[in-house]
Structure 1
Amino acid sequence: MAQRIVMPGLMEIGAGALDKVADLLALLSCRQPLIITDRVMLELGYVSRVEVALAAQGMEYDVFLDTEPEPTEASILPSVDKVVTGQFDCLIALGGGSAIDSAKAIGLLAQHGGRMRDYKVPHVVTEPILPVIAIPTTAGTGSEVTRVTIITDQNTDEKMLCMGPGLIPQAAIIDYELTLSVPARIAADTGIDALTHAIEAYVSGKSGPFSDQQALSAMQLIAPNLREAVNMPGNHQAKEKLMLGATLAGIAFSNASVALVHGMSRPIGAHFHVPHGLSNAMLLPAITEFSIPSNMKRYADCARAMTLVDQQVSDEEAVKHLMLELVQLNQDLAVPTMSAFGIEKAKYDELLDTMAEQALASGSPNNNPRIPTKDEVIELYKKVWS
């Protein structure tokens, strides 16, 4: 089966890559960017580094500082207006996945109008958006290399999934030094998010030889370095490998799609405001256990890529080690259960039916090795409660 591959046309990778931002804009023939970011990036000094690089090349720019951690349509509309009324020819997205997702949505609405609901799945975004230069400051979401953005409808709490080649950033800057200041909780959640991307891309029904190689390489980089990157934030080697692994995982899942974990994760985030990476981490062990019987060979390959077992170990033994590792990883990185996170049990139970319907409607569960029924999704939600 043929697999169409899409990714940014330009990527600057490595320590100090942030300082190349003006050079990258020049290659794209862009001269007047709007920087999409938040006040944390301002306080950390990353915004000023971008400004210095742009000013040195005589480029005019402006800054939008009000992106939100879980972007809603309401949160992006002021910057859409700013782009429409200004003379900006590109967007620089500086921050975590939320800043990059926001920039993609801003670039889409500024060019083509309408509402985000008009572009959600099953619509395929082929419309070219205002060029986005993505600069991730966390190692996890992979948004800098994906054809995906997720924007919440603030009126219904629906996390609207928008996909298509039009949403791929024109360029990405992958500078692991920007992750050295990330708090441990965010580093853990985004790191497990990246591992989930790699695993789901590899077991997805839409996987192919190219995405498989990206996914396996991502697991090889992420799994042995995740704990150290979280617990020893000054470890440059671990941080660099985790950052590169997250980007490879992003390329993998953008081209092979995600599966049941992500399908079930989005409603949890929408209804209970659990950060996306954290809700993935909460779900990953139970969903993996549910799915293994339908493709044991692929999950065994994941265990080997994560260096949990060697090539001589049987598939049956390999998946046992995979399950032990996923459970232990959550314990080591203090991933809470839904109950421990503080979600109200009565409201959770009341929304089980709705969340199951929303998970299945997203389409992601159809890529899972074991495609669940609605009742099975509800039972899995019950299982991960505590």
Structure 2
Amino acid sequence: MAAIHLPRTIRIGGGALNELPEVLCASGLSHPLIVTDSWIAGSGILERVESLLAGAGIAARTFTGVVPDPTVASTEAGCAFLAQGNHDCVIGLGGGSPIDSAKMIAVKRDRAIAVRDLKAPHQEDAPGLPIIAIPTTAGTGSEATRFTIITDAETDEKMLCAGLAYLPQIAVVDYELTLTKPARLTADTGIDSLVHAVEAYVSKRANPFSDSMALSAMRLIWANLPLACADPGNRAAREALMLGALQGGIAFSNSSVALVHGMSRPIGAHFHVAHGLSNAMLMPLITGWSAPAALPRYADCARAMGLASDRESDQGAVGRLVEALERVNSDLKVPTPSAYGIARERWDELVPLMAQQALASGSPANNPRVPEAHEIEDLYRRAYA
């Protein structure tokens, strides 16, 4: 039996952003706090959102202090800013960092609870302020998930926080906001959403609903990611990637992610590698290591992505999948940790800690092949070069 959780309202399609005032009013919301970062603030997107709201008579304030890989300190600053106004909801505007920040700010508010006390395995289901998510990247799927990631700067740990409290009430998914994304960001977020879909499908917690979302996401992402990277203005490819990212988010929010995510979070925390890029660094290696424990499931992924026919054996299909993941990393210029510039000595020094943090997140336990600490350490060492 599976419990399925989705945003109450999803507005999706080109121009959906224009409906933001309408969806807020329909939910009885009129005093939002907008949470975003300096890039969105300077891009013209924030000004557009503020103008839309002001034109509808909706009074909004904006917090622009979001940092990449949001920290406890940055979210605490957002909570303090929230407390200075009379807000009835929080809008996350941007990529994964602003949306994740908005989630924590909405849930924590002025509550006397430390963020680290909210990390998994704790489940936070008591609702905070309503969350409205407006993604400007096709990648994290955070607009449809009951998770947020906050970094503890004191321990360099990316803390997974889970529960229904983090599930947005409203998602406004407008692919036109992604038309100006540069190729590197398009590639990294696109592979991130592909990893969401594949891990949701092979996860031990997969179910028929999440399976349908995951397979559809794979079809959309794999075919359209190269097109969007080569031609950023390709509207059909951008729309497909946005839908694929949303479906991938729905899929893993209603099943789970697995070993790739468990191992990628410590890389991001310790070496400040973008989340999608650290996923991409690990995806071919971890897929090859995990696949023997779930050949039919990984073969389904290969077939959904158009890499193998129904007549080909599962073993053959999985071989094509691993080869294709290695090839797309090469085509999209995904570096190894070594090529990224991470020092070998520092990497080796942190491998045991990163393995402990990966296991503590709980994600590796959902993997088809569940690793022990020494196996994760070995995989980190193999991934380096």
TM bracket, shorter-chain basis: over 0.9
Q: How far 1:229 moved relative to its partner?
A: 1.1
- For the 8 Å contact 1:180–1:234, the answer to whether it is kept is yes
The one-letter amino acid of 1:381's match is Y
Cα offsets for 1:242-274 (capped at 9, x unmatched)? 110000000000110000000101111111111
Q: How far 1:220 moved relative to its partner?
A: 0.7
The two structures have a TM-score, normalised by structure 2, of: 0.99
Partner of 1:235: 234
Alignment of 1:58-69 (within 5 A): 58-69=57-68
User: Which range is displaced more, 112-121 or 24-33?
Assistant: 112-121
Cα offsets for 1:6-33 (capped at 9, x unmatched)? 1110010000011111111111110011
Q: How far 1:172 moved relative to its partner?
A: 0.4
Partner of 1:357: 356
Partner of 1:299: 298
CA distance in 1: counterparts of 2:253 and 2:142, whole angstroms? 9
The one-letter amino acid of 1:114's match is I
Partner of 2:124: 125
Cα offsets for 1:201-228 (capped at 9, x unmatched)? 0000000000000000000100011111
Partner of 2:82: 83
- For the 8 Å contact 2:79–2:110, the answer to whether it is kept is no
- For the 8 Å contact 1:71–1:98, the answer to whether it is kept is yes
How many pairs does the alignment contain? 385
Partner of 1:190: 189
| Matched residue SS, 1:112 | coil
Tell me, yes or no, if structure 1 residue 335 matches structure 2 residue 337: no
Distance 1:60 1:128, change over 3 A: same
Partner of 1:199: 198
| Matched residue SS, 2:287 | helix
Q: How far 1:88 moved relative to its partner?
A: 0.6
Tell me, yes or no, if structure 1 residue 290 matches structure 2 residue 277: no
Alignment of 1:1-386 (within 5 A): 2-110=1-109, 112-386=111-385
The one-letter amino acid of 2:204's match is G
User: Which range is displaced more, 243-252 or 102-111?
Assistant: 102-111
The one-letter amino acid of 1:36's match is V
The one-letter amino acid of 2:276's match is G
Task: Please report the RMSD computed on the Cα atoms of aligned residues, expressed in angstroms.
Answer: 0.9
The gaps in structure 1 that reach 5 residues or longer are none
| Matched residue SS, 2:192 | helix
| Matched residue SS, 1:15 | coil
Cα offsets for 1:222-244 (capped at 9, x unmatched)? 00111111121010011100110
Q: How far 1:111 moved relative to its partner?
A: 5.4
Cα offsets for 1:271-311 (capped at 9, x unmatched)? 11111110000000000000110010000000000011222
Q: How far 1:112 moved relative to its partner?
A: 3.1
CA distance in 2: counterparts of 1:53 and 1:113, whole angstroms? 34
Q: How far 1:109 moved relative to its partner?
A: 1.2
Q: How far 1:123 moved relative to its partner?
A: 0.6
The one-letter amino acid of 1:181's match is T
The one-letter amino acid of 1:104's match is K
The gaps in structure 2 that reach 5 residues or longer are none
CA distance in 1: counterparts of 2:82 and 2:62, whole angstroms? 11
CA distance in 2: counterparts of 1:255 and 1:331, whole angstroms? 31
| Matched residue SS, 2:384 | coil
Cα offsets for 1:175-204 (capped at 9, x unmatched)? 001111111111111100000000000000
Distance 1:219 1:212, change over 3 A: same
| Matched residue SS, 1:224 | helix
- For the 8 Å contact 1:19–1:49, the answer to whether it is kept is no
| Matched residue SS, 1:353 | helix
Cα offsets for 1:107-131 (capped at 9, x unmatched)? 1110533111111101101110211
Q: How far 1:42 moved relative to its partner?
A: 2.2
User: Which range is displaced more, 177-186 or 291-300?
Assistant: 177-186
The two structures have a TM-score, normalised by structure 1, of: 0.98
CA distance in 2: counterparts of 1:76 and 1:213, whole angstroms? 34
CA distance in 2: counterparts of 1:379 and 1:74, whole angstroms? 33
